[in-house]
Amino acid sequence: MQRVALGVSYLGSAYKGWQSQPGGGTVQDALEQALSSFAVRSIKVVCAGRTDAGVHGINQVVHLDTDLVREPFSWVRGTNAFLPADIAVQWAHPVTSSFHARNSARGRRYAYVLLEAPVRPAIEAGRVGWVFRPLDGDAMRRAAQHLVGEHDFSSFRSSMCQSPTPVKQLRDIRIARCQAPEGGATAYWRFDFEGQAFLHHMIRNIMGCLVAVGTGTRPPDWVGEVLQARDRRVAAPTFAADGLYFLGPQYDEVWGLPTAVSAMDWLPG
């Protein structure tokens, strides 16, 4: 048996999230079916990070164990021949059995793309979040600083979260306004999150609070109060999944896995 790591990109709009379900309709279901068709035997995968319904993956990493010996490019092209257009394997790399897509990750990165515009998106529908009020970037950055570090993130945790602890380390939050025509009323914002691990809906719940600050509904220090409350009821509503992208896990260089794929160049910023 050999272990193979794959990098997978997908548009999550049409799927019920990453994790396989009895009724199908998930990214994992589609990927395992394509891999099994290519390998002509059952293939199961383990992923670096599960994503919710509507959330997209840029460089999701999975590993699989198989007795089928193929060159890396064959895993890519052969599997993609059986995948729908909105899912594609980007790369394949043989690894030792000590590599684990989830447990070997030392961090994870996400980006949220938000459209600030008077009218809701059409061309970008399902690919960006949307706010019609102007946003104050400096206020959101001040608010975000309350969240950086190791904290109890219970206030940003979904009731369906299965993590054994609400304590997580959020290493960095970066907020940038980009692609704004000079003098125009339309702009894209990019929010980058880097952490060791994340709770269910954690980023979308943080986004709801940051947008509340950005639109002037709440002051920046309110986010610190929400964090200290450790109570989901005091935070803003969960923000839309549309603009959330799993950029991928971070591994030690010893594994030699790609850290970037072409779709990263497509994202604003």
Domains annotated on the chain, with CATH: 2-104 (3.30.70.580), 107-245 (3.30.70.660)
Number of residues in the chain: 269
pLDDT in tens, the chain (269 residues): 999 999 999 999 999 999 999 999 999 999 999 999 999 999 999 999 999 999 999 999 999 999 999 999 999 999 999 999 999 999 999 999 999 999 999 999 999 999 999 999 999 999 999 999 999 999 999 999 999 999 999 999 998 888 899 999 999 999 999 866 666 668 999 999 999 999 999 999 999 999 999 999 999 999 999 999 999 999 999 999 999 999 999 999 999 999 999 989 889 87
Which of the residues 52, 65, 67, 252 is marked catalytic?
52
Work out the angle at residue 248's Cα, subtended by the Cα atoms of residues 256 and 103, and round it to the nearest 5 degrees.
70
Asked about 86 being catalytic, the answer comes back as: no
pTM: 0.95
Question: Cα separations (Å) of 231 from 119, 156, 195?
Answer: 33, 8, 21
Distance between CA atoms of residues 82 and 31, nearest Å: 9
Q: Among all chains, which residue has been given the structure tokens 């994503």?
A: 51
Q: CB-side exposure of 180: number of CA atoms within 13 Å? A: 18
